[in-house]
Amino acid sequence: MSAAPPVHASGVAADAATRAEAGEQRGRARVTPQQVTAVVPVVLFVVLFVVMIVVQGTFSGSLLQTVLETTVPLILVGFGQTLVVLTGGIDLSVGGIFSLVTALVATKMTHNGDVATWLPLVLLIGLAAGAINGLLIVRTKMQPFIVTLASWSVFSGLALLALSTDGGSVAPGLSSTLSGSWIVPKAAVVTAVVIVVWLVLRRTRFGTNVLAIGSSEPSARLNSVPVARTKILVYALAGLFTALGAVYYSSVLTFSGSPTAGDTFILQSVAAVVIGGASLAGGRGNMIGTILGACSLSMIAQIVFFAGAESYWGQLVQGILILAAVLLFATVELLIRRRNPASAEEA
Amino acid sequence: MSAVPAPASERRSRFGQTGWRRRQLVIAFAWILMILLFVVVSLFEPGFRSNTNIRSIVDQSMILGIVGLGQTLVIICRGIDLSVPAMMGVSGVLLARHGTTTGDVVGALVLIVPIAIALGLVNGLSVALLRAPAIVVTLATNTLLLGALLVTTNGATSQTGGEPAKLFRTLSTGHIGPISVSGLVWIGIAIVAVALLAGTRFGRHVYAIGNNPVAARMSGVPVIRTVVSVYVVSSLCAALGGLLLAGYLNQTFPDMGSDYLFTSIAVVLIGGASILGGTGNYLGTIAGALTLSILGGVLAILNLGPAYMRILYGVLIFVTVGLGTLLARRGGRST
Amino acid sequence: MQDDSHQARGQTDAWDLQALEMRKSYGKVNALDGATLRARYGEVHALLGENGAGKSTMCKIVTGSVRPDAGELLLDGRAISNGSVGEAMRHGIGTVFQELSLLPDLSVAENMFIGGGEPRGRTKLVDRRAARRRTDEIFDELGIEGIDPRSAAGSLPLAQQQLVEIAKVIARKPRILILDEATSTLPRQDVLWLFGIVRRLRDEGAAVFLISHRLREAFELADRITVFRNGADAKTGTTDEFTEATLVEAMLGRELGVETERRPAPAAAEVRLEVRELNVKNRVRDVSFELRRGEILGLAGLQGQGQTAVLQALYGWTRHDGEVLLDGQPIDVRTPRRAIRSGVALVPEDRRTQGLALEMSIRDNLTLPTLRRQLGFGNLISPAREERFAEHLAKSLNVKAGSLEDDVASLSGGNQQKVLLGKVLSLEAKVLLFADITRGVDVGTKADIFALMRELTADGTSIVFYSSDSMELIHMCHRVAVMFDHTIACVLEGDEITERNIVQASVSGRIATSEEVKV
């Protein structure tokens, strides 16, 4: 056992100026992209919530509950999308899986259908569909965008086979169980569960691996991260949570099915993730942001509704909001990169 | 930097092709697939090769081919344009509105062209200048523009009528003797597009940016200007597509372009372009557009609904992109 | 060609790690062609060789990131299979990679434990506070200062990232440590620090492999040296069996004809480029210099003192303040496009990411910056004119290619470098900026590049030549500006240009006899 090494290393020891600069930067409280992306969704949520109270004229605890209730499907789909985006991918097939599961719920889980068999089965179908995406991405080395674009087409075709037009009905038993009054508001329960699952994931090896892959896939490989296995699992989970969202959607919100219900969730889920501050390049983002982003999107629709305007005003405002958010984040990132060019460009 | 250099022999595919030939092969494959499909179907269903049917295939694919031209340019530049459907809806609806009130094509274009240019500028500047992800930017502008259109029209469907409809109806469905007008228009546009990509500075810049944006900038390529132009061209193509679609359908509604979100990307991918940018060719996109229309015709003959169409589209993308990936990997690059 | 007869086969039992008769080919290229490597615990073993000699591939096999086509890997006398980096890790093999393997968006603490061993709480979940504490302890133990375990790894300066990388591997107490060009981004002081740690590990019984381009580091640290050539081990022995000359000879397989003739500085020539008070935020401070017609000005200094940034600024690649004059007239170099138009051109450091469009043809690459000159009818490129131009360039630079239609990716590294040079030279710039373009280039191409530089200066072109190899600067430059602390500390001329002076100025900012720079 020998003593400590003779010299100390700081990486910048050789020049005092850089060290001084580093100190100066620390003193000036540098703004990181992470901080901006953490604050924006919170501010947005609060502002929209206040606007909603003003528009509706009253405040009650049930207001938040109403918001959550309509947002739960998007939160669930957004959970899967967040995981996928964190790995640096994108999942367009959530639209197809959502439609397929909705169609199955409305045709197989009717009042004379076998709910006990079909409920686990549709969840399994979601899981399997996602796993197929993951397998194709990992095995064929095709881009996630292409694989999920094609599988969206296939899954939504299957949805049309199961249910050719809007309609069908959900078993009253299932609907009343899920939508009946619980002791604790069920939307809050689902949201809380999603948050807990996220917090636990974040502190497991799997969670770190997800972030590692999105941060830099080659480096992750060099650090013996099981890239293929993690990715397949991520897409499978995305499929499962999309299926959960679809079950909730059709049995609590619409009581019927639509073979094209999922298509709006593609844009909505990606938008929720982006407004929530995740980077589409991967490695950065979190579930809380996505939940706030999802709530913000559905609050816009509700504000428009309460204000008595036609629903397409909501679409206009959502478009403006998404564009503003993505441009804001891009600008912040650009400014920070410009302010501190050393780390980014010399590499 | 002491990695093993990869000399020529390693990069050659099993067929001995270098990258250039490999890319030609992928495009040739798209054409072979399309022609094969046509021939096989014609054998079973002689009516399929009738002049009328061929004309209707060309009519349908021309609109897709024109929208796909913009998408081809954007994808070669490492981007994606998902704002195509809204632009098509805007141009179609505005054409109809203007047509019914004043019967003035020029009056409609005076509105449509600036909107298309503005959309392209917003998309292009966001992507090129602010480096925002193209997927989200164009999805957002799509939502925004569609929302604005719905707000201004109260979501109404309107019939086209009067002068403008006739012009675009002729352009999209008319025929001179046995030759379809749309085919002639498309051939004209295709010649310009192929020449633009293969034979001009602009085209070379587009490929260079898609291939390596840093190297392109270092070589003095005007990156931002080129990328912005590409998005503007894409919006203009979508606007033209919307006008022709209005003529083809003889009616307009805000959502009329929604199918083109998927199909405009599909034809580019089937045509052999890589979503990673840098490769692709308009000839491939033409083959892709024709393939999709023929496939639609086949499903109509077999009396199969849109469900099968969607499934087949998906499978087709898997097969063609998968094949391209396979070729590329033999050639040393993963797509 | 089998070349391992120099090692007695009966001796095998005396070695702790053996990689025997390794073969690995990529396509038709044999990266390793029956190479053998043997090492003992308690020894530092340097692997030297030209680029593509096979030393890196050999290391990657030992590390588990590359699977050999044939060959046997023995650890402690037993055959092991290294299917993955993780498996190698379990065998106690740790590698500090040449390309950083840090995950930029994860915190330093998370990076320290990415491969495993993170502290866990009672719930089996990762205990982040403990992970941070443990990271601090490891840094303390190794003598690393001033790195916050909570900060994102990607936000640290490059040299600090390298330190984290080193700490991460050493914290796992590897029995076999591989340093794959780990020193290339470190300032000299940190290199010495690393060597201290390596010596300690060696004394505690670890086997250490050192891959470095700097011969000096091998002599400083290694107990044993193996020289690789053409995918096989060419020569191996203890360090004292080698001299610098015999090492170079072994690497090249022939004797090196040393050419030290240097032409006198063209002092009489008129000033071509004048740079006044160039500043780049955080990277360059008040740099001013003059460059004469036909002159080669060297840029020396430790890594990261702003050499690259000066060149990038002059080419409009980074935002900067200051005045740049060409032939006495102020010029606009705010973007590469404007720099080119003003008569300044840069050959970038990394041809693959900055220089070439690899999936485009050789012709397309060669003519990309000069397309305006290839135009025929209207705005259309004239294929004939372009072909002639490209062929002329390729011939004059001696690019070896089957057809100019082939992708640049199909060329060897040296030929790619020539295409890059040809592309930049075709701009016929008055001032050329060379950013460490000889790093990672084989000796033959290097000689070609040097000859070309001489030719260019004879025709009146002026060159700013940044190189991380001071011998090259001594060999090529009329004057050498040494950068220290993000500015030019002193300019060496004539007989002052010696390795000793360059190194001294690099670490201290001055030499005994130096004249201070004119500001």
State the average pLDDT over residues C85-105: 83
Residue C497 Cα, gap to closest chain B Cα (Å): 28
Whether C472 shows a pLDDT value over 80: the answer reads: yes
pLDDT tens digits for C380-422?
888 889 999 999 999 888 887 778 888 888 887 778 888 999 9
Question: Of residues C225 and C513, which shows the higher confidence score?
Answer: C225
Contacts of A216 in chain C (CB under 8 A): 102-104
B196 to B188, B206, C449, C490: CA distances (angstroms): 12, 10, 37, 52
State the average pLDDT over residues C106-119: 85
CB contact under 8 A, C283 and A200: no
Residues 6+ apart with CB under 8 A from A181: none
* Distance separating alpha carbons of residues A218 and A207, to the nearest angstrom: 17
Residue A221 Cα, gap to closest chain C Cα (Å): 8
- In this complex, the residue of C368, C403, C440 whose CB is nearest that of residue B221 is C368
Task: Give the pair of three-digit tokens for residue B127.
Answer: 């992507």
The residue written with tokens 């086969």 in the block is C9
HEC states along C365-395? HHHHHHHHHHECCCCEECHHHHHHHHHHHHH
Cβ atoms within 10 Å, residue A154? 22
Chain C partners (3+ C-beta pairs within 8 A):
A, B
CB contact under 8 A, B2 and C337: no
∠ CA C376-C377-C380, rounded to 5°:
75
Residues 6+ apart with CB under 8 A from A56: A63, A306
Residue C79 Cα, gap to closest chain B Cα (Å): 26
* Distance separating alpha carbons of residues C67 and C91, to the nearest angstrom: 16
Identify the helix (H) or strand (E) that includes residue C19. strand C17-26
Q: Looking at this protein, which amino acid is placed at residue B189?
A: I
Q: Parallel, antiparallel, or unpaired for β C70-75 and C78-79?
A: antiparallel
Whether B1 is in a domain gets the answer: no
Total domain count for chain B? 1
Contacts of B329 in chain A (CB under 8 A): 141
Name which of A69, A53, A51, A77 is nearest A276 in CA terms. Answer: A77
Q: Does C508 touch chain A (CB under 8 A)?
A: no
* Residue A211, CB-side half-sphere exposure with 13 Å CA sphere: 23
Total length of chain B: 335
CB contact under 8 A, A7 and C188: no
A15, closest residue in chain C (CA to CA)? C485
pLDDT tens digits for C492-502?
888 888 877 88
A252 to A97, A118, C467: CA distances (angstroms): 18, 17, 68
Interface confidence (ipTM) of the complex? 0.87
Which residues are registered as beta bridge partners of C46? C210, C225
pLDDT, mean over chain C: 83
- In this complex, the residue of C54, C340, C358 whose CB is nearest that of residue B212 is C358
Structural domain of B286: 58-320
Which range (A52-61, C26-35, C276-285) has the least confidence?
A: C26-35
> What's the pLDDT at A2?
40
Q: Parallel, antiparallel, or unpaired for β C329-330 and C271-280?
A: unpaired
> What's the pLDDT at C207?
92
Instruction: Work out the end-to-end distance of chain B between its first and last CA atoms, rounded to an integer number of angstroms.
Output: 24
Name which of C36, C98, C394, C44 is nearest C219 in CA terms. Answer: C44
Chain B partners (3+ C-beta pairs within 8 A):
A, C
Contacts of A342 in chain C (CB under 8 A): 157-158, 282-283
CB contact under 8 A, B201 and C440: no
- In this complex, the residue of C159, C163, C318 whose CB is nearest that of residue A341 is C318
CB contact under 8 A, B221 and C348: no
Residue C296 Cα, gap to closest chain B Cα (Å): 22
> What's the pLDDT at C92?
87
Total length of chain A: 347
- Domain positions in chain C are 259-343+429-519, 361-427
Are A332 and A33 within 8 A, CB to CB?
Answer: yes
Whether B43 is in a domain gets the answer: no
> What's the pLDDT at A181?
60
> What's the pLDDT at C190?
84
Are C426 and C393 within 8 A, CB to CB?
Answer: yes
Instruction: Work out the end-to-end distance of chain C between its first and last CA atoms, rounded to an integer number of angstroms.
Output: 58
* Distance separating alpha carbons of residues B53 and A178, to the nearest angstrom: 52
> What's the pLDDT at A289?
94
Provide the 3-class DSSP secondary structure of residue C158.
helix
Q: What is the CATH number of the domain that holds B94?
A: 1.10.3470
Residue A27 Cα, gap to closest chain C Cα (Å): 14
CB contact under 8 A, B147 and A161: no
- In this complex, the residue of A90, A141, A327 whose CB is nearest that of residue B126 is A327
Contacts of B10 in chain C (CB under 8 A): 26-29
Q: What is the CATH number of domain C259-343+429-519?
A: 3.40.50.300
Strands (E) across C260-392 are located at 271-280, 284-292, 296-301, 321-326, 329-330, 344-347
Question: Of residues C461 and C88, which shows the higher confidence score?
Answer: C461
Choose from C314, C361, C407 for mutation: most chain B CBs within 10 A.
C407
Whether C89 shows a pLDDT value over 50: the answer reads: yes
Name which of C229, C289, C222, C217 is nearest C253 in CA terms. Answer: C229
Are A145 and A266 within 8 A, CB to CB?
Answer: no
> What's the pLDDT at C3?
42
CB contact under 8 A, B208 and C358: no
CB contact under 8 A, C283 and A341: yes
pLDDT tens digits for C244-262?
778 777 776 655 444 455 5
- Exposure letters A3-28 (e unless 16+ CB within 10 A, then b): eebebbbbbbbbbeebeebbeeeeee
Residues 6+ apart with CB under 8 A from B17: B25, B331
pLDDT tens digits for A288-311?
999 999 999 999 988 998 888 888
CB contact under 8 A, C380 and B12: no
Selected residues 124-163 of chain A with any CB under 8 Å from a CB in chain B: 136, 140-143, 145-147, 149-161
Contacts of A335 in chain B (CB under 8 A): none
Q: Bin C258: left if φ > 0, else alpha if -120 < ψ < 50, else beta.
A: beta
> What's the pLDDT at A31?
65
Selected residues 239-258 of chain A with any CB under 8 Å from a CB in chain B: none
CB contact under 8 A, A319 and B276: no
pLDDT tens digits for A207-259?
999 999 999 998 898 888 899 999 999 999 999 999 999 998 988 787 777 88
Percent of chain C with pLDDT strictly greater than 90? 25
* Distance separating alpha carbons of residues C65 and C84, to the nearest angstrom: 6
Walking along chain B (335 residues) 10 residues at a time, the average pLDDT comes out as: 36 47 82 92 87 89 96 96 96 80 74 96 96 94 94 71 69 84 93 93 95 93 96 97 90 88 94 89 94 91 88 92 76 43
* Distance separating alpha carbons of residues B301 and A193, to the nearest angstrom: 50
Beta-carbon contacts below 8 Å between A and C: 172
Residues 6+ apart with CB under 8 A from C441: C51, C413, C414, C417, C449
HEC states along A300-338? HHHHHHHCCCCCHHHHHHHHHHHHHHHHHHHHHHHHHHH
What backbone phi and psi angles, to 5 degrees, belong to C51? -65, 135
> What's the pLDDT at A183?
64
* Distance separating alpha carbons of residues C438 and C434, to the nearest angstrom: 9
* Distance separating alpha carbons of residues C123 and A167, to the nearest angstrom: 47
The residue written with tokens 């990607």 in the block is C154
List chain A pLDDT tens, one digit each, 347 residues.
Answer: 344 444 455 544 434 334 434 444 443 445 676 777 888 899 999 999 999 888 887 777 777 888 888 899 999 999 999 999 999 999 999 999 999 999 998 888 776 667 778 889 999 999 999 999 999 999 988 999 999 999 999 999 999 998 887 777 776 666 666 666 666 677 888 899 999 999 999 888 899 999 999 999 988 988 888 999 999 999 999 999 999 999 989 887 877 778 888 889 999 999 999 999 998 988 888 899 999 999 999 999 889 988 888 888 999 999 999 999 999 999 988 887 776 554 333 32
Residues 6+ apart with CB under 8 A from C179: C96, C194, C198, C208, C209, C210, C211, C212
> What's the pLDDT at B191?
96
Whether B26 is in a domain gets the answer: no
Task: Give the pair of three-digit tokens for residue C265.
Answer: 């500085």
Positive or negative CA dihedral for C341, C457, C328, C318? Answer: positive
Residue B320 Cα, gap to closest chain A Cα (Å): 11
Provide the 3-class DSSP secondary structure of residue C455.
helix
> What's the pLDDT at B270?
92
